């Protein structure tokens, strides 16, 4: 498959959404798909690394949402791949809080602080809902003490479902299973890819339809018949359609330029979406010095700086005898640590651990600090929408622009931020593309198909009643004259 041919579709990105999209197309007879992936592997944010004789998950680690009435599709894929998993019970974390002198905070105090944090989060949510955010009397006091800050961090940065219902847990159940398997969580993506791409008997993918190390830099989508994609190494590809599965962090960056530029409604939706940086730092020790009793897997460190090496997990349940601890940072702390040397981070981490467990503990022999923020193919860990996000924001972030379809976890209204969100969004995007291909095949001309693409976001603008308003919207969509005439006819 050379770069001069025009493919039915090019999929940009080979994370779980790109691969699930490609699989659906292949299953529906669209076989001349080309997948362009910037890195040297598939899986994207599902990624294992060898560390201290085990496989660590530096990206997604858990199947979140298990045990409910409906089965999480990722849980099914994990089981079909026979991946070993381990139930995570966070309920005790709030009672395992160490202060800076190594004392465990009494459980009554911890429970009271937790209740206070939940109540104030609920109050804050009510304020937002009733638009009373400015009423001084209703603003809950912000946490100040180390224990309140530690609990606030866990409640908000770890999406504990006590405050508002989270679709993942409502729909699929509230259990979480850590993938603890040498083959890695990414096996799910590899198995999916191998179901439609050729592989060697050693399981290596050798199929021209997957091109690794292809960094897409430019998408030219002005033509009415095809789209042109240019990569960093100077290659040019053409396709009838594009499925763009890069993260919202990448869309917010200048890695890919669009000619003509994306319409304003699309760029607004992209820029509105928040990106969370979530960093799991792995530490290998010559021996254990922490408790491995039941209910002690997760523990917290209370410090006057919010999120300063707060959330800890030992890996003995997942990998007995591994002597590995994991500490999780988010957002500003993640960015701060990404910008310093691993040795500087090790020094900070050891000072924290010595505060908790005493001066005599051994220094870690290995450290692994993932850098999701500085990775130009990610620019963050996952999307996060404000609790009261509008349905319309999701419609816009997902809506196609001409021949470009959008997918990825950030396009999933219900499950953004999760592996299953990425997986399901890939299926959705391909189904939408297949519908469009069928419409064209059934004799609708390009104009009508274009009209369908462009009406989707218009329909979402529910306040648009009059043609005047539609005209404004069509100009925002960068329509040419003939296409806007088609829309005018369509709405008569
Ligand atoms: C640290 C961390 C922890 C997480 N923990 C969990 C968890 O426990 N449970 C859970 O359910 N989810 C978790 N997630 C979220 C989950 O990993 C993601 O939601 C999901 O993997 C996203 O898949 P995707 O296909 O949408 O995007 P990606 O996996 O990011 O795929 C996009 C692909 O596009 C490629 N790309 C980018 N730019 C270009 C370009 N210019 N040209 C070509 N290719 C490009 C990238 O290299 C990447 O392979 C976590 C994520 C992170 C980072």
Which pLDDT value is given to residue 163? Answer: 66
DSSP strand pairing (366-368 vs 175-179):
unpaired
Own/partner long-range contacts of 408-412 (Cβ < 8 Å, ≥24 apart): 408/13, 408/15, 408/17, 408/244, 408/245, 408/246, 408/247, 408/248, 409/17, 409/247, 409/382, 409/383, 410/247, 410/248, 410/273, 410/382, 410/383
Nearest CA to 12 out of 36, 34, 43 is that of 36
The token pair at 350 is: 């050891």
- The per-residue pLDDT for 134 is 55
Query: CB within 6 Å of ligand 1 — which residues?
Result: 12-18, 36-39, 44-46, 59-62, 64, 215-216, 245-247, 250, 255-256, 278, 280, 372, 377-378, 381-382, 408-409, 417-419, 421-422
For residues 383 and 275, is the Cβ–Cβ distance under 8 A?
yes
What integer pLDDT is reported at residue 154 of this predicted model? 86
pLDDT along the chain (492 residues), means of 10: 79 98 98 97 98 96 97 98 96 92 93 86 74 58 88 80 80 96 97 96 92 98 93 98 98 98 97 96 98 95 96 96 97 98 98 98 98 98 82 93 97 96 98 96 61 41 31 32 33 28
At 131, list the tokens. 């638009």
Residue 454, pLDDT score:
44
- For residues 179 and 101, what is the distance between their CA atoms, to the nearest angstrom? 34
Under 8 Å between Cβ of 180 and 318 = yes
With the most atoms of ligand 1 within 8 angstroms of its CB, the residue from 12, 13, 37 to mutate is 13
Residue pair 422/414 in contact by the 8 Å Cβ criterion: no
Q: Of 307, 276, 470, which is closest to residue 384 (Cα–Cα)?
A: 276
352-366 burial, b at 16+ Cβ within 10 Å, e below that, comes to bbebbeeeebeebee
How far does residue 321's CA lie from ligand 1's centre (Å)?
Answer: 30
Region of 82 on the Ramachandran plot (φ > 0 left; ψ -120 to 50 alpha; else beta):
left
Integer angstrom CA distances of residue 104 from 151, 201, 221, 356, 378: 14, 53, 59, 9, 38
Q: What is the pLDDT of residue 5?
A: 87
CB 431 within 8 A of CB 398: no
**Per-residue pLDDT, 489:** 31
Phi, psi angle pair for 195, to nearest 5° = -75, -15
- Centre of ligand 1 from the C-alpha of residue 390, in Å: 24
Structure tokens given for 281: 């730092």
Token code pair at residue 198: 């050729």
Alpha-carbon distance of 180 to 65, in angstroms, equals 17
């Amino acid at each position: 498959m050379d770069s001069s041919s025009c493919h039915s579709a090019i999929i940009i990105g080979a994370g779980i959404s790109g691969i699930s999209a490609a699989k659906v197309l292949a299953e529906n007879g669209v076989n001349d798909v080309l997948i362009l992936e910037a890195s040297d592997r598939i899986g994207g944010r599902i990624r294992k690394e060898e560390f201290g004789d085990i496989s660590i998950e530096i990206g997604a680690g858990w199947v979140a949402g298990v045990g409910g009435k409906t089965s999480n599709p990722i849980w099914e894929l994990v089981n079909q791949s026979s991946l070993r998993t381990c139930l995570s019970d966070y309920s005790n974390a709030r009672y395992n809080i160490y202060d800076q002198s190594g004392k465990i905070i009494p459980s009554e105090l911890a429970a009271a602080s937790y209740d206070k944090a939940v109540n104030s989060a609920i109050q804050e949510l009510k304020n937002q809902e009733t638009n009373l955010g400015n009423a001084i009397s209703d603003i809950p006091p912000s946490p100040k003490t180390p224990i309140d800050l530690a609990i606030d961090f866990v409640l908000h940065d770890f999406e504990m479902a006590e405050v508002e219902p989270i679709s993942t847990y409502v729909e699929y159940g509230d259990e979480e299973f850590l993938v603890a398997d040498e083959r890695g969580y990414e096996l799910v993506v590899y198995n999916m890819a191998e179901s439609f791409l050729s592989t060697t008997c050693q399981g290596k993918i050798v199929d021209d339809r997957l091109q690794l190390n292809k960094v897409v830099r430019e998408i030219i989508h002005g033509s009415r018949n095809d789209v042109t994609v240019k990569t960093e190494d100077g290659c040019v590809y053409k396709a009838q359609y594009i499925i763009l599965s890069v993260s919202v962090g990448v869309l917010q960056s200048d890695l890919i330029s669009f000619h003509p530029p994306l319409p304003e409604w699309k760029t607004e939706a992209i820029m509105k979406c928040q990106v969370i940086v979530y960093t799991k730092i792995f530490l290998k020790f010559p021996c254990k010095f922490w408790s491995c009793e039941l209910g002690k897997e997760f523990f917290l460190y209370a410090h006057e700086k919010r999120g300063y090496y707060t959330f800890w997990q030992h890996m003995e349940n997942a990998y007995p005898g591994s002597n590995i601890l994991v500490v999780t940072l988010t957002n500003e702390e993640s960015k701060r640590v990404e910008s310093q040397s691993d040795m500087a981070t090790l020094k900070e981490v050891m000072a924290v651990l010595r505060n908790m467990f005493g001066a005599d503990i051994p220094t870690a022999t290995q450290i692994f600090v993932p850098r999701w923020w500085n990775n130009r193919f990610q620019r963050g860990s996952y999307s996060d929408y404000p609790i009261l996000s509008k349905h319309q924001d999701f419609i816009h972030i997902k809506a196609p622009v001409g021949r470009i379809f959008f997918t990825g976890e950030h396009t999933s209204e219900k499950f953004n931020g999760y592996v299953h969100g990425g997986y399901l969004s890939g299926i959705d995007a391909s189904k939408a593309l297949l519908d469009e291909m069928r419409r064209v095949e059934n004799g609708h001309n390009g104009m009508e198909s274009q009209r369908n693409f462009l009406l989707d976001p218009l329909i979402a603008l529910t306040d648009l009643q009059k043609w005047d308003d539609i005209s404004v919207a069509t100009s925002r969509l960068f329509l040419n004259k003939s296409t806007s005439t088609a829309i005018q006819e369509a709405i008569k």
